[in-house]
Amino acid sequence: MDATYIQGSIEQLKTNIFMHVRHRTLLQYTGAPVINENQLFYLLLPFLNGEEWNEHIDKSAITVGIVHASLYEHDKINEKNATSKEQQLTVLSGDYYSGRYYEILAHLGNITLIRELSEGIVNRCEHQIKVYESNQNSLEQWFNTISVIQTELIRRFYLVFNFEQYSSLMHTGLLLLQLKKEVRNLQNGHNSSIMKKMIESVSNEEKTLEQLLVEKIDMLQDLLHEYLHSSTLNDELKRYIRHQVECS
């Protein structure tokens, strides 16, 4: 196994997700579903590391990818222009994807997976809602919110299929990658809704939000290296994860 094989596995999972949610009209007006390849990598991490993997688990991973796509579509809605055709179709695309993953889950008949993903969706949405609330959270609370949004559904997937030994690495890796992305956006003046809330949270701090984020990123990078050093991952996966962080 090498980086080409890893990337090919991610592309195959992405293709399988697209096949299950492809709809000509939605594709025309809203584009292809938003798929986060970093999340797909961590979904596949147990498989790539040689864990037992069958068709049922593979279908379940596709379902988690569709759930992410559905939630990302709803995240894209522009409240100020929610009546436009594109925005209405964006809402419909999220609902359509939701219907598709429920259909797959029904065929799988895995009640435990259905329950865990349902609870995971609720938890993720509760954290997403915090962006629109008036309460002021601490920076660490916002880090936790970002982590839940990025990792909650994969954590539930790991829980159902006994892959929990990968959870700490997954949480650290995905939070690290997302914070690096947010810093780039911050530097370019493209602040997400959650970054705007975080700016409010540090308004009385001596350091800027960017400085505080860089400090958190440095800490997460050290933690990730510790996990990689002590993990049972094969060497190619360790190299891939390091390269993923360096190039993000």
Residues 181-214: tens digit of each pLDDT: 999 988 888 888 888 888 888 877 778 899 999 9
Q: What is the mean pLDDT of the chain?
A: 84
Does 36 score more than 50 pLDDT? yes
Give the distance, in angstroms, between the CA of residue 191 and the centroid of all CA atoms in the same chain: 18
Of the ranges 15-29, 34-48, 124-138, 157-171, which one carries the lowest mean pLDDT score?
15-29
What pLDDT is attached to residue 73? 62
What pLDDT is attached to residue 84? 57
State mean pLDDT over 117-126.
86
- Length, in residues, of the chain: 248
DSSP states along the chain = --HHHHHHHHHHHHHHHHHHH--HHHHHHH-SPP--HHHHHHHHHHHHTT----HHHHHHHHHHHHHHHHHHHHHT--GGGTTSHHHHHHHHHHHHHHHHHHHHHHHHT-HHHHHHHHHHHHHHHHHHHGGGSSPPPPHHHHHHHHHHHHHHHHHHHHHHTT-GGGHHHHHHHHHHHHHHHHHHHHHTT---HHHHHHHHHTTTSSS-HHHHHHHHHHHHHHHHHHHHHHS---HHHHHHHHHHHHT-
What is the identity of the amino acid at 1?
Answer: M
pTM recorded for the entire structure: 0.87
Nearest by Cα to 19 from 54, 57, 59? 59
Nearest by Cα to 233 from 47, 37, 60, 58? 47
Q: Identify which has the larger pLDDT, 177 or 74.
A: 177
What pLDDT is attached to residue 104? 76
